[in-house]
Chains A and B, each alone.
Chain A
Amino acid sequence: MNVLRQRRGRVAAVLAVVAATALGLSACGSNSSGSTGSSSKQLNLVGFSVIKSAYDELGTSFAKTPAGKGVTFKSSIGASGAQSRAVIAGQKADIVALSLSPDVTAIADAGKIDPSWDSGPTKGIISDTVVAIAVRKGNPKGIKGWADLIKPGIGIVSPDPGTSGSAKWNLMAAYSQALGPNKDEAAAKTYLGSFIKNVVSWNESGRTATDAFVKGTGDVLISYEVEAIAARAAGVELDYIVPDSTFLIENPATVTKTAPPVASEFLKYVASADGQKILAGKGFRPIDPSVTATEVPGANDPANPFPKVTNLTTVADLGGWSVVNDSLFDKEKGLVAQLRK
């Protein structure tokens, strides 16, 4: 009996030591895999909320190419702004694929990405889409365009610009289409105010906004065209409209400073015709004009999935990101913040 008691005492003592160092061990454990960088065969992808299915397929196809043999991906998917801050705060990343360039630039400013990431011919942009309006199947409220959205009683579902990239594109689209040919800022401000008043649900990311809409909130969802297509391809019952005037969404992607060389190979693949074909099949508008999409499940017309937009505004038309970020999205003085008061 004495022997047993002694053993139990020793066991308890060992347990105490284990407990006290358990935290330290796990800290070191996660640290060691971080400081030495991920293995050459595993890439850490940090992406914005709607790209999971597209990049899953890109990853699988890339692994079939000679450059990508044996490469696997670990992806973290979430709201673009939140993801940007997460990478800055230490979230492991080799490839960063976010919704808008400022979210990537912020990471570059924090020293984790080469500041010349967007100096190439494509300015670091890897995929395009446009802002679309999604409605319930059959369009029961008869939404035809932006003007219908500010009618009383229409509930708009959008993400929140504090966390989401999609939100910023949405708000820029709503604002810019009201500028009209005369660049009437007063009219745009009025429209944006009415638009914001009709927002019933500000969500964390583009995906959670879609989710809220699909599960019954609101009457319309403002989102990426690719998101509406992807939802329909997955069997979700909704319809979408690409308005005559809308905004061009340009998504950047780049590698971090600590990424292995194969990460750059992956991005080259995504930018190539093969990669762009896959993206097109998922509902993105290819950045390479020579790539045509012939069959896009989920699109309004799968054979002609990307109708030309009559008035397509880009961020450059509004003066570039630094102007827009200040005038529209500044947390205190920005137009959106003021209109939300």
Chain B
Amino acid sequence: MTETLVKAPEAAESPNVPRAVKRRRRGSPVVRWTLRIIAVGYVLGLVALPVVTVTQRTFGNGLQAVLDSLQNPDLISAAKLGLFVAVTSVVINTVFGVGIAVLLVRYRFPGRRLLNAVIDLPVSISPIVVGVALILVYGQNGWFGGWLESNGIQIIFATPAIVMATVIVALPLVVREVIPTLEEAGTEQDQAAQSLGANSVQRFFRITLPTIKWALAYGVVLSLARSLGEFGAVRVVSGSVPGVSQTPTLFVNDQYQEFGPVAEQSAFTAAFALMLIAVLFIVVIALLRPKEKTQ
């Protein structure tokens, strides 16, 4: 017992393996098993069961039906659009996200807390509200509507609106991942470089960026997953024209509302593909995690 009371402080940072081994199991087995069954049962019943069911439904007509529906030219166009929108919005959010994170962590300026709160706003808003808000500003009768139309710029019902909607919903993800790492890292290296004559741009690229490398990668993957999966906001601002403005999620929705087994298979195939990609993202994210510690 005494050894756990006189441990070195570092042991608190690397929690699991050694301490779990040293500690004897406390608590009655009944409690432990009850909790375990409730937790595992809930997770399996709530999530795993429907996931298995949808897999069954997707492949219910055989593998060939799935492969055939993957050849749907509208699905392929939707996939291309989805990829373009996701990558564009992730790039935008990464560039601005890192910049804003650095500003928030390293500098003091009036309105800093407001800026912090504004970044979190998209998470608290319904995606439908995001779409409605975009229409109110950039739509034809919106605040910028007249100016946009006289300059021939089409935002709503076109790709820019889809990108903007996606950017908004994924906005906080990169920022929130990068900030803690920046805070942890502190400014010693940065200040040392500054005293050696490096300007802020050099310090950013040579010191700041490498520090946040893995947190950034993590945030980028989170953003990518979120951007690819956006539905509600895009539903409001896009005309969902197959081959033009129909994202993969819109494709799933539109196909599900069509008649006939072919459309239903298309809907489920696309949904299953998106689900597979989502699981892939989860695995990648899980793999990215441990790397943080080797910094």
Contacts and interface: CB of A to CB of B under 8 A. Distances in A.
A22 B92 contact: yes
Contact of B259 (A34, A35, A75, A234): A234
Nearest to B158: A30
Interface stretch (A82-90, A140-148, A179-187, A240-248): A82-90
Contacts of A19: 91-92, 94-96
B159 A236 contact: no
A230 B91 contact: no
By DSSP majority rule, is chain A's interface helix, strand, loop, or mixed? helix
A64 B240 CA distance: 27
B202 to A, nearest CB: 8
Interface string B210-243: 0000000000000000000000000000011111
A309 interface: no
A21 B152 CA distance: 17
A52 B258 contact: yes
A15 B163 contact: no
Interface in A76-105: 76, 78, 86, 88-92
Interface in A1-60: 5, 8-9, 12, 15-16, 18-20, 22-23, 26-31, 34-35, 44, 52-53
A29 B91 contact: no
A74 B242 contact: yes
Contacts of B156: 89-90
A207 B257 contact: yes
B139 A89 contact: yes
Task: Give the most central of B95, B149, B202, B259: most A CB within 10 Å.
Answer: B259
A208 B259 CA distance: 11
A92 B239 CA distance: 9
A31 B242 CA distance: 18
Contact of A35 (B140, B152, B164): B152
B257 A74 contact: no
Contacts of B206: 5, 9
A231 B239 contact: no
B154 A23 contact: no
A78 B209 CA distance: 47
Interface residues of A, number: 42
B15 interface: no
Contacts of A208: 257
B88 interface: yes
Interface in B99-157: 139-141, 149, 152-157
Contact of B152 (A8, A31, A92, A207): A31
Given A23-B164, A91-B239, A211-B257, A5 B91 contact: no
B39 interface: no
A15 B95 contact: yes
A12 B154 contact: no
A235 interface: yes
A64 to B, nearest CB: 19
Interface in A204-246: 207-208, 210-211, 214, 230-231, 234-236
B9 interface: no
B165 to A, nearest CB: 12
Contact of A76 (B96, B139, B240): B240
Nearest to B85: A26
B261 interface: yes
A20 B95 CA distance: 9
B29 interface: no
Task: Give the most central of B95, B152, B239: most A CB within 10 Å.
Answer: B239
A76 B92 CA distance: 29
Nearest to B201: A9
B153 A27 contact: yes
Given A31-B152, A34-B154, A35-B152, A22 B159 contact: no
Task: Give the most central of A30, A52, A211: most B CB within 10 Å.
Answer: A30
A5 B159 CA distance: 35
A90 B164 contact: no
Contacts of B155: 27
Contact of A18 (B91, B153, B243, B244): B91
Contacts of B139: 89
B158 A89 contact: no
B290 interface: no
A27 B259 contact: no
Interface in B175-233: 201-202, 205-206, 209
B96 to A, nearest CB: 7
Given A12-B209, A20-B95, A31 B259 contact: no
Contacts of A27: 153-155, 158-160
Contacts of B259: 53, 210, 214, 230-231, 234-236
A15 B259 CA distance: 44
Contacts of A92: 157, 241
10 contacts: A8-B209, A23-B160, A27-B160, A28-B153, A31-B158, A76-B239, A76-B241, A89-B157, A90-B154, A235-B259
Interface of B: 88, 91-92, 94-96, 139-141, 149, 152-160, 163-164, 201-202, 205-206, 209, 239-244, 257-261
Given A19-B92, A86-B157, A207-B257, 14 more contacts: A8-B205, A9-B201, A12-B205, A23-B88, A26-B88, A26-B160, A27-B154, A35-B152, A74-B242, A89-B140, A90-B158, A92-B157, A230-B259, A236-B259
Closest 6 CB pairs of A and B: A234-B259, A30-B158, A234-B260, A19-B95, A9-B205, A89-B140
